[in-house]
Chains A and B, each alone.
Chain A
Amino acid sequence: MKMKKFLALTCAAAMVFGLTACGSAAADTTATDTAADTTTETTDAAESTDTTEEAQAPAEASADLSGTISMAGSTSMEKLANAVAESFMAKYPGVTVTAEFTGSSAGIEAVTAGSVDIGNSSRALKDEEKAAGAVENIVAIDGIAVVVDPSNTVAGLTKDQLISVYKGEIKNWSELGGEDAPIVVIGREAGSGTRGAFEEILGLEDACAYASELDSTGAVIAKVAATPGAIGYVSLDALDDTVKALTLDDVEATAENIKAGNYFLSRPFVMATKGEISEQSEAVQELFKYLASDEGKQVISGVGLITVD
């Protein structure tokens, strides 16, 4: 009997331990998955540039360029800055690109103070920042689509309506000209770049009343597609046919409209410099040339952003 109890105890302890381990393992996997996703994207981008680089390398003699480029600024631009830094350094092994993520305003301050070469900002520069010597170089545009389930009869929202919906003031689609169905407000988790951009553009920082906070773009699309009356937001490049994108202020969510500046749920990604690009160091000038090249554009669209011409 004693032996049996001992066995039971051992098994029981092993099981509880196993379960706990399962819980934490699950957490770990998700974390690493996300990390892996980002790296895959970046390496993808890097790989694609590698191939083109090989073709052009003899003509350009890129190895000659050397120096350092320091960036600081927007946390939303972390993915873009890292991807650009990585692929640029792969192309020009002599150049070191460092990136810090301190926030848009801090980045612009740093560049006007001359402590970094490039200040990353995920918003347009203010007039006083331009007066202080910062030059606005828009390298990419971040666009967000508002999606609903395909059977929803509402075709579009105004900015004010969208804000009211996400604040929880409008709770039924009938108030927006749709069917009598409650609105299920879906968003991303705190810390997500898409959520940050969405709330920042609408002036809703941490004021949203979410019914569901999901931890990936795919999950938002799946949930919206499966839930009648749901509304969600996703990065524009993730849009697919399972959900319906709403027009905002009667403007469709397309890359063209965003480039033309008609679609309000978008923001520029600015790499600000102190003075014009032509006044910068050779390495920095080359970086901007690189961003405007086809390879650079591949990197930009590789992280889900819209390129500028």
Chain B
Amino acid sequence: MNKQQTFSIMGNRKNKSAVEEIAQVIFTLCAFLAILAVISITVYMVINGTPALFQVGIREILFGTVWKPTAENPSFGILYVILTSIIGTALAVLLGVPIGILTAVFLAETAPRKLAALVKPAVELLAGIPSVVYGLLGLMILNPLMYKLELAIFKGSDTHQFTGGANLLSAVIVLAIMILPTVINISESAIRAVHPSLKSASLALGASHIQTIFKVILPAAKSGIITAIVLGVGRAIGEAMAITLVSGSSVNMPLPFNSVRFLTTAIVAEMGYASGLHRQVLFTIGLVLFVFIMIINITLNSILKKGEREDA
């Protein structure tokens, strides 16, 4: 009986401090592992991505529009690829964010409890679906629909190259759906975090529920909603698997019905057989993508810091 007591959490001082110290070391190691990963990825991307920049020329790569990596006189212009990623992401955000925020308002404010109990798990499920499944659905459902639309719009056109529905618009729609769960979940938490006194005050002053939502609650949840948008951008710009199936993957100007290639899909599509300078340029594309993601991260951090200062 006496023996068992030594295992109790009321152990002696020496045991306790040893446990504390070991835990401390484990926490520190884990923290360093994460930092190590970030640093090694950064170093790796810079080391692998920059040589081609100087070999081909920064202007030729970033502002060239001709992508012919295997031609006799290869040309590595990725301007259209960069523009596609920017425009595709912007359109996806433009489409997905309003839907996402309004869904969040619905979930947090106006939904009957039973309906919310149905919608909320559905949204969470949406977040858990692997991206390649979005791509497959896009390929099977969206592309044929897009092709019908394309046939109707460009009927008799001599200049348009028909893509069979694999175009920027398909990719944008898939991306918009994919960022929905991120936007909805984070905006919803932000809306719920608004202090109830604000809502009560607004209602007490005679504002309607809808007025309260748009004039009081959403402005109060602003920084959280901006976080949601930035994270949505991050998700959209980094997505590869889903859009490689629906975007057609030819390097073209990012017009709605053109077959286009994103930064991510450019790497995925050609890494298999690329060699030499071609391969290095693919790493450069990775570096460009990396820089974009970094910019998004820094923006996010500064928004959150600003929000924190306002709170304090």
Contacts and interface: CB of A to CB of B under 8 A. Distances in A.
Interface majority SS on B: helix, strand, loop or mixed?
helix
A210 B250 contact: yes
Contact of B269 (A24, A206, A213, A229): A213
Contacts of B244: 215
Contact of A19 (B139, B162, B166, B238): B238
Given A30-B268, A182-B151, A191-B275, A227 B165 contact: yes
Interface in A172-211: 182-186, 189-193, 196, 205-206, 209-211
B163 A184 contact: yes
Interface stretch (B99-107, B115-123, B196-204, B304-312): B304-312
Contacts of A212: 163-164, 166, 248-250, 259
A115 interface: no
A30 B163 contact: no
Contacts of B248: 211-213
B264 A23 contact: yes
Given A9-B304, A185-B161, A2 B272 contact: no
A4 B161 CA distance: 52
Contacts of A190: 67-70, 270, 274, 278
Nearest to B308: A5
A259 interface: no
B235 A229 contact: no
A8 interface: yes
A209 B161 contact: yes
A192 B269 CA distance: 10
Interface in B126-160: 131, 139-140, 143-144, 147, 151, 154, 158
B268 A5 contact: no
B289 A12 contact: no
A206 B273 CA distance: 16
Interface in A204-254: 205-206, 209-215, 223, 226-230
B307 A205 contact: no
B155 to A, nearest CB: 9
Contacts of B165: 227
A15 B231 contact: yes
A242 B25 CA distance: 60
B297 A16 contact: yes
A112 B202 CA distance: 90
Contact of B307 (A5, A184, A215): A5
Contacts of B304: 5, 8-9, 12
Given A189-B249, A210-B250, A205 B164 contact: no
Contact of A31 (B147, B234, B235, B271): B271
A215 B164 contact: no
A13 B297 contact: yes
B250 A15 contact: no
A211 to B, nearest CB: 4
- List 8 A-B pairs, minimum CB-CB distance, nearest first: A34-B272, A23-B238, A191-B273, A182-B162, A227-B164, A184-B164, A206-B71, A31-B271
Interface of B: 38, 67-72, 131, 139-140, 143-144, 147, 151, 154, 158, 161-166, 182, 186, 189, 193, 224, 227, 231, 234-235, 238-241, 244, 248-250, 259, 261, 264, 267-275, 278, 286, 289-290, 293, 296-297, 300-301, 304, 307-308, 311-312
Given A23-B264, A196-B70, 13 more contacts: A5-B307, A12-B300, A15-B234, A19-B239, A184-B162, A189-B272, A189-B273, A191-B272, A191-B274, A210-B259, A212-B250, A223-B166, A226-B139
